[in-house]
Amino acid sequence: MGKYFGTDGIRGPVGKPPLTPEGVTALGRAASEWVIADAPDEPAIVIGRDTRASSDWMSAMLAATGTAMGLEVRDLGVETTPGVAAETKGRGAALGIMVTASHNPYTDNGVKLFGADGFKLPDAAQASIEAAMDEAGRGSAPAGRLGRLDRMSGSRFYEKALQAAATADALEGLRIVVDCAHGAASPRARGWLEQLGARIETLGLNPDGVNINAGCGATHPEALAERVVASQAYAGIAFDGDADRLVMVDESGRIVDGDQLIALIATDWHRSGRLKGGGVAATVMSNLGLEHHLSGLGLKLERTRVGDRHVVQAMREAGYNLGGEQSGHLVMLDATTTGDGLMAALEVLRIARKDARPFSQVSRVFEAVPQKLVNIRYDNGDPLETASVQNAIRTASYGLGNTGRVFVRKSGTEPLIRVMAEATDTEALDAALHKVVTAIESASQR
């Protein structure tokens, strides 16, 4: 991680650097200078945003800075992250900017950057932009060469991608509950799913600037689970604030995470000859059960750093067309360039419809190894650098041997340390987790 860029772009509390008017202007200038230096004549940028209150002024400042630097700026308004990626590539833009803090609360915000190919910018490009943010730079383009702001309506290239992913009656008769997290999927998801024949009930469809992700969406699917059971629906779909993440719920109210969805798609694609590269990319957080399931099919699970940007990089290098995260980022490179909740939901439901069983049985592809995750908030210093914490991690890992593992990392988007442990023996799992968590909590209080 850099000074400003973390696991997935820039993200943090609004009002604290760099998410201040000065910081956003510096980002807009630095990104514009990067485009001007690397792009062809008359370059353009695409900007989209989620529904949180601060996204309006942030996207406006980025658009104003871009036009002042001489760029053509195409403002998509409220749009999903995969929508921005598709529109960036489809419209021939040199850069795509998505203003979002994804699954974080409305008090946070951030940006995700996409290159002309629709993929998130590589580390080197982000580092170049980050370095330029702290430099003075030039103020604007010469008089007479200023750019233009074009406010777009609709997302025709993303719509084409969705149309290619499903036939008109793909979901005919299915009762589905959809939770849009009061986020960027709110204007589109219900209408699109109804076009495919589904009978839709909705949650989280009334954004007011502050309710994005609040007790709803992919990170809080409890209300969705209750509605699915009460409505006797086939399944539930939950997106996060920018709709690049998908979590599902079966008819019994059980939550189906990204690992099970990856396993479902991978199994179907492997049997139909559609899976490429002989494997799947997923992060270090994915359950051992997924790895064992894929191995049983003769497939490889390539683990990456956390973040769908790293998953995509591994996929492109290995020739895979499927990858994702346990948290619900699913990437299908034949259709999209980034995590895409709506596209993934369409594919899961397409596969499930071929099976006469309830979704609870279709979606339970493998038996998960018991796994627990604890998030520890810290304010100062780096507890992971202390000898006591490092020793606790080593001891806990050694105690699990080959039956499990401990993984500890700092969040790239929040001041949290995430401790994950999994093991076939639940008592050993709890003991290992307790040892590491206690050590980190003690170190963080010093």
Cα angle 254-259-265, degrees, rounded to a multiple of 5: 100
Q: Which residues contact 6 (CB under 8 A, 6 or more apart)?
A: 412, 413
Q: The tokens 């630097």 sit on which residue? A: 69
Instruction: Please give the backbone phi and psi of residue 235, each rounded to the nearest 5 degrees, phi first.
Output: -165, 170
Contacts of 110 by beta carbon, 8 Å cutoff, 6+ apart? 9, 10, 11, 12, 19, 99, 100, 101, 102, 104, 413
The Cα 253–Cα 19 span in angstroms is: 38
Contact 8, 412 (CB under 8 A): yes
How far apart are alpha carbons 200 and 175 in whole angstroms?
A: 6
Contact 177, 237 (CB under 8 A): yes
Amino acid at 121: L
CB 262 within 8 A of CB 282: yes
- DSSP for 306-320, please give it: SSHHHHHHHHHHHT-
Residue 209: name the closest of 78, 60, 341, 75 by CA: 78
Q: What angle do CA 272, 278, 282 make, to 5 degrees?
A: 105
Catalytically annotated residue among 32, 54, 102, 444:
102
Q: Are 149 and 63 in contact (CB under 8 A)?
A: yes
102 is a catalytic site residue: yes
Question: Beta 246-250 vs 235-239: how paired, if at all?
Answer: antiparallel
Q: Which residue has the tokens 């810290």?
A: 378
Q: Which residues form the catalytic set? A: 102
